[in-house]
Structure 1
Amino acid sequence: MERIFNFNAGPATLPLAVLEEAQSELLNFKGTGMSVMENSHRTKEYEAINSEAEALVKELLGVPENYRVLFLQGGASTQFAAVPMNLVSPESHADYILTGAWAEKAYKEASKFVKTNVAASTKEENYTRIPRVDELKVSDSPAYLHLCSNNTIFGTQWQSFPDLGGVPLVADMSSDILSRRFDVSKFSLIYAGAQKNLGPAGVTVVIIRKDLLEDIPSNIPTMLRYDIHAKNDSLYNTPPSFSVYMVNLVLRWLKNNGGLVAAEKRNAEKAALIYEAIDNSEGYFRGHAVKDSRSLMNITFRLPSEELEKTFAAEATQQGMIGLKGHRSVGGIRASVYNAMSMDGCRALAEFMKAFQSKNA
């Protein structure tokens, strides 16, 4: 069967080489006579997968020694509650920057458990941009300042992260982690669902500074406590073993293809193909995001009418490009071009956009 170009926002496309490797090992993993999905998480074979995955995350991102990498369940949405429950004391509070739907959800969830403050929001502008640093109104001594590094629905992305002195940063990086280089030491905690850039759905990566593990409240549910998971090397309970196995294969693939230096270059070149088609369309295609806030992962745009948008998505599907319909809350078109999306896929979409405009303008 011929592979199509999968522009879905998540679960998203995976590297073909990774899928083929998983296929070759599916029935007999490393001579065990069984699938990795059947293997006990207490065996040396699975523990090797778990350890290698943590080591590769650290290597690729340049994670300092004073951090742990955890593999947890419940998606990034569970971290919306886990982060404040673990990091905010009854006497403290947390600040949130609202740049899209997922940042909003994180803020609303945290507000159920702790005192919160909105440090900045671009909601009134329909989340077309990332706030400037001089717009941030950070409260006095927050436990952390939370941001979402990339916004899948609105197609905006932090081009650089705010440096606010001693204010601890926490980030949801679900949709752009491992797509570019950044300084991990700026953050106290990072979390990311796997199903966009890391692997299949089912596992969430958490990168946490070790000193934060020392004061976790004892009265929160065990499965939400970072210290318990760190102490047990993410093996306190049965992990999503196949998802972690797949994440490990994706991490190897990234390393073998030049690491984040090469990934960042590829991602910029891929996105440029589509943004050029938007910018050169004389207004036929209208990008949602302000140019200096554009995402390299999720490219969002509108056509002259909703009817044309439906036709665009339908005809693209017929030509082997799926997942281009915009999120139901904003409409339009969205092309998700994560690490595993090929240059050929982006080129095919850009060429289709030009042909569609020529036919329908």
Structure 2
Amino acid sequence: MQRSNNGNSVEVENLVKRFGDFTAVDRISFQTRAGEVFGFLGPNGSGKSTTIRILCGLLHPTSGRATVAGYDVVESPELIRRNIGYMSQKFSLYADLTVLENLRFYAGMYGVPASELGGRIDWALEMAGLRGRESSLTGTLAGGWKQRLALGCAVLHRPPILFLDEPTSGVDPLSRRLFWELIQQMSSDGVTIFVTTHYMDEAEYCNRLALMNGGKLIALGTPTELKLGSIRGSLLLLECDRIGDAIERLRHFDGVGDVAVFGSALHLVVSDAAIAPAIRAALEADAISVAGLRVIRPSLEDAFVALTTRHDADPVSELSR
């Protein structure tokens, strides 16, 4: 099949995947651009993993269309698999093989030319910080090292598109930060990174984010666009004692749309910030001491909660298309 040459790394149009009567992916559409870090967010069961399996050529869609690296997912799944790298939260490494044996195995799987094998393996060892540990059993490595080794294995064949499915799950914060530095470097080199994550701080590193829930794409945009476009009204930060009692008092307070715990404080979605004095007065009348009440900018977590909470009643949020 002839490749599409439109500058987009991934194109999805009205994609649907059904399993019997269950619709796992429901008419989603989006595009990613070369060199973009594209985040895919959503709760468990939202359709993220099913979509990725379709894009990797592992599942056929029920209807709709998708191309990856210019190849159709139905007509050319083998060509797609040659042009992508894939890394999951389980790392897909062989614990009973050494570091070097894992690298050589994946180089063979991806068809790395013998003339380039030494250089590719040297790069992966340097990137993963495993120089001198070539003979170590992979199963004995710390989580952060396994993670970087898995990344090295996934990109030995220098694919233009890399799929990362919750790649930092269970990894310590320092290793997560180092991993994202590698991701940003690959992006600057023109590699498209398609990543799913449950960590909101990681989502901030993405150029754009797609939010799925119930098989539907409910929002698409940059992190800033999602944060600014998700809250209907204003967001207040409430610092008080007796948080449980405050939640009960405010849950049915006129003008308060949502109440959520954030750390030791509460986030209130209100129709108008001008009701803040009335909120303070109502709490203090119930002997709830208020240490602070002020307007704040929404975080990505606020946006995630707001958008997933109301998606059943709303169409797709046209934040950025």
TM-score after normalising by structure 1: 0.29
Q: Which structure shows the bigger proportion of residues in helix conformation? A: 1
Q: Which structure shows the bigger proportion of residues in strand conformation? A: 2
TM-score after normalising by structure 2: 0.32
Q: Which has the larger radius of gyration?
A: 2
